[in-house]
């Protein structure tokens, strides 16, 4: 278990090596973590009750997905009050208790911040749509129709259909890059920018240690409302009109980095709190680098692995090469699974090899240069759940049935107790079904097994904490072919060699072992890696 947080304030801690650099951060999706009030939905007291489990993994921080007041059209990413806890999850007092408990266990707390849009139930939007001349008239993106009554541009929403909805009260269209119930804020307006910075100040004052900025490259639009050009047809399946455009004008505006400098000033004024940007879209690397330049955000969280249909040595080497260890280049963050992507063990391994793949992925994740995000259930080896149509909750999955089903299947409840109803998640019927194979992987069953995936997670996170070369060192590729991936992590005189056979079907013989193993899996030996075998060695 991690130690207690040092009692000195964040400002004093910030003078040392930043805690977040090379950190392992555990993501909690509150709806599916633990239900304590019997409504089938997880809550803040449930997170607090299970913080000892998270701390036992040895991670540095916990990232909590939205729990703010919301109509839940997009399950909390449609916020109606940025500074209130939705009653579904508890109260502000419950949140304060969570932060105190986390800090007592040595865990930092990171919150999602959603600043590109709000819910249409937000008081800001109610005031904005009421009048073209009111105090908040320009807080959202409003535009007149074209002469024929059609939307002001051809922009398409992520969830399908035009990114514009007509509002008869204003006699104008409003922009929504996501659901029509998620109108876009106008962050070009300095008052709006200051309002969302005040939201950050509110949570920092309650003791949080940082933020993940959701969809931050959607935060500003082209004020000229120019049409997006068509995207070239590369022969890939396109399930949404959104995929038929190069999103040049409805996202990725060049003023966003300047706004992030204001965010950084707020973080620094709070004593060095941390922020990581979520960056998707057509040119994520360019934006990730821009967002993490000195004076902006600390890190950026991309999708190099989250949506990759296959894991290959070339993919890993290419992703790492994009973040060289040199001055002026930012610090990356990596995840293999999260609440928006199908679980990696199901994407990248056949069903009969999923446990071996889960073990390899944990070893690979802790070996990467950057921060690593561990999604709830990865420490158990949970697979993606096939949720039947009648149980689907995700609006995108319902609209695109049966093509895009990743989000619900990755959000199913955590299994805590093997022999309890609903695997100990809730006394009531859970909001999403548990995976049929998840009960056998429950936390209490794995806790008692020193050979479990859970035990391996704890050992690997401890290894990353103990070895500065893994946490902070350079990434130096040694070999990559169709199956074999070998790279070194080096810092000062310390050097570790990491070897992975990414094939689930064949063994690989090699002459690249360099020293004794610190950790190994699937029967790996020096000079030979069975299918999905791996070794982390200390270079002699």
> Cα torsion at 168, 174, 176, 180 (round to 10°)?
0
pLDDT in tens, 40-60: 999 999 999 999 999 999 999
At residue 428, the pLDDT reads 98
What are the beta bridge partners of residue 64?
28, 111
Average pLDDT over residues 150-157: 98
pLDDT of residue 8: 41
What angle do the packed helices 92-104 and 44-56 form, to 10 degrees? 10
Active-site annotation holder among 43, 120, 209, 278 = 278
Which residues is 212 bridged to in the sheet? 112, 276
Give the pLDDT mean for 138-151. 98
- For range 247-261, the mean pLDDT: 96
Distance of alpha carbon 483 from alpha carbon 493, whole angstroms? 29
Which pLDDT tens digit goes with each residue over 423-463? 999 999 999 999 999 999 999 999 999 999 999 999 999 99
Q: What domains lie within the chain, and their CATH numbers?
A: 10-119+188-464 (3.20.20.80), 474-538 (2.60.40.1180)
Residue 476 designated active-site: no
What value does the mean pLDDT take over residues 244-262?
A: 96
Is 278 among the residues known to form the active site? yes
Do the bridges between strand 484-491 and strand 508-509 make them parallel or antiparallel, or are there none, so unpaired? unpaired
Which residue has 């060289």 as its token pair? 324
Active-site residue (options: 214, 379, 408, 467): 214
Helices (H) and strands (E) in the chain, counts: 15, 20
**Contact assessment for residue 430 and residue 413, using Cβ atoms and an 8 Å cutoff:** yes
Burial class (CB in 10 A: 0-12, 13-18, 19+), 5: middle
Confidence of residue 238 (pLDDT cuts 50, 70, 90): confident
**Confidence at residue 405, expressed as pLDDT on a 0 to 100 scale:** 64
Q: Is the pLDDT of residue 10 over 80?
A: no
Q: Could you tell me the pLDDT band of residue 235, with boundaries at 50, 70 and 90?
A: confident
Tens digit of pLDDT for each residue in 304-360?
999 899 999 999 999 999 999 988 899 999 999 999 999 999 999 999 999 999 999
**pTM score, whole prediction:** 0.95
The per-residue pLDDT for 296 is: 97
Band of the pLDDT at 13, cuts 50, 70, 90?
very low
The pLDDT mean for the chain works out to 94
Cα–Cα dist 70/429, whole Å: 22
* Under 8 Å between Cβ of 508 and 499: no
- % pLDDT > 70, the chain: 97
pLDDT at 403: 74
* DSSP annotation of 284: H
Note the pLDDT of residue 3: 32
Distance CA 94, CA 396 (A): 31
Task: Please give the structure tokens belonging to residue 516.
Answer: 């004794």
pLDDT tens string 493-517: 999 999 999 999 999 999 999 999 9
Q: Which two tokens stand for residue 169?
A: 């009260």
Structure tokens at 232: 């070239």
Range with the poorest average pLDDT among 21-35, 107-121, 226-240, 249-263: 226-240
DSSP one-letter string for 73-108:
TTTTSS-SEEEEE-TTT--HHHHHHHHHHHHHTT-E
How far apart (Å, rounded) are the C-alpha atoms in residues 363 and 124?
A: 46
Asked whether residue 1 carries a pLDDT value surpassing 70, the answer given is: no
pLDDT value for 15: 52
Asked whether 245 and 230 are in contact (CB, 8 A), the reply is yes
């Amino acid at each position: 278990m991690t130690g207690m947080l040092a009692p000195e304030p964040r400002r004093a801690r910030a003078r040392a090596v930043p805690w977040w650099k090379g950190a392992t951060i555990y993501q909690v999706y509150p709806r599916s973590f633990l239900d304590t009030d019997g409504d089938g939905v997880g809550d803040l007291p449930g997170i607090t009750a299970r913080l000892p489990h998270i701390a036992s993994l040895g991670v540095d921080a916990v990232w909590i997905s939205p729990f703010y007041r919301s109509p839940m059209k997009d399950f909390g990413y449609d916020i109606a009050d940025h500074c209130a806890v939705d009653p579904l999850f508890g109260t502000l007092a419950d949140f304060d208790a969570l932060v105190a408990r986390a800090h007592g266990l040595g865990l930092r707390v990171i919150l999602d911040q959603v600043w590109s849009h709000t819910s249409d139930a937000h008081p800001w939007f109610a005031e904005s749509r009421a009048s073209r001349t009111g105090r908040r008239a320009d807080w959202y993106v409003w535009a007149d129709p074209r002469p024929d009554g059609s939307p002001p541009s051809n922009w398409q929403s992520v969830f399908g259909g035009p990114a514009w909805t007509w509002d008869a009260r204003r006699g104008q269209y409003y922009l929504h890059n996501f659901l029509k119930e998620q109108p876009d804020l106008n962050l070009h307006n300095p008052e709006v920018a200051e309002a969302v910075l005040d939201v950050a100040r509110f949570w920092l004052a309650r003791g949080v240690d940082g933020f993940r900025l959701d969809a931050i490259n959607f935060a500003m639009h082209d004020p000229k409302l120019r049409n997006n050009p068509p995207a070239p047809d590369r022969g890939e399946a396109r399930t949404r009109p959104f995929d038929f455009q190069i999103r040049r004008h409805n996202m990725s505006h060049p003023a966003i980095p300047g706004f992030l400098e204001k965010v950084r000033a707020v973080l620094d004024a709070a004593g060095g709190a941390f922020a990581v940007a979520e960056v998707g879209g057509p040119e994520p690397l360019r934006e990730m680098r821009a967002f993490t330049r000195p004076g902006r955000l600390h890190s950026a969280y991309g999708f190099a692995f989250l949506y990759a249909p296959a894991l290959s040595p070339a993919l890993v080497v290419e992703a790492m090469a994009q973040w060289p260890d040199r001055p002026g280049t930012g610090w990356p963050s990596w995840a293999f699974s999260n609440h928006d992507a199908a679980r990696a063990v199901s994407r990248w391994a056949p069903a009969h090899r999923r446990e071996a793949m889960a073990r390899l992925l944990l070893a690979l994740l802790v070996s990467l240069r950057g921060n690593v995000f561990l999604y709830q259930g990865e420490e158990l080896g949970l697979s993606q759940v096939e949720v039947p149509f009648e149980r689907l909750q995700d609006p995108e999955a319902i609209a695109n049935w049966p093509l895009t089903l990743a989000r619900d299947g990755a959000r199913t409840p955590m299994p805590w107790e093997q022999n309890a109803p609903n695997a100990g998640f809730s006394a009531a019927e859970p909001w999403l079904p548990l995976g049929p194979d998840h009960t056998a992987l429950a936390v209490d069953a794995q806790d008692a097994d020193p050979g479990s995936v859970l035990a391996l997670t704890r050992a690997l996170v401890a290894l990353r904490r103990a070895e500065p070369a893994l946490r902070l060192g350079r990434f130096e590729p040694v070999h990559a072919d169709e199956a074999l991936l070998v790279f070194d992590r080096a810092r000062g005189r310390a050097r570790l060699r990491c070897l992975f056979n990414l094939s689930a079907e064949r063994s690989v013989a090699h002459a690249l072992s360099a020293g004794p193993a610190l950790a190994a899996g699937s029967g790996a030996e020096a000079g030979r890696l069975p299918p999905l075998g791996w070794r982390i060695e200390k270079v002699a």
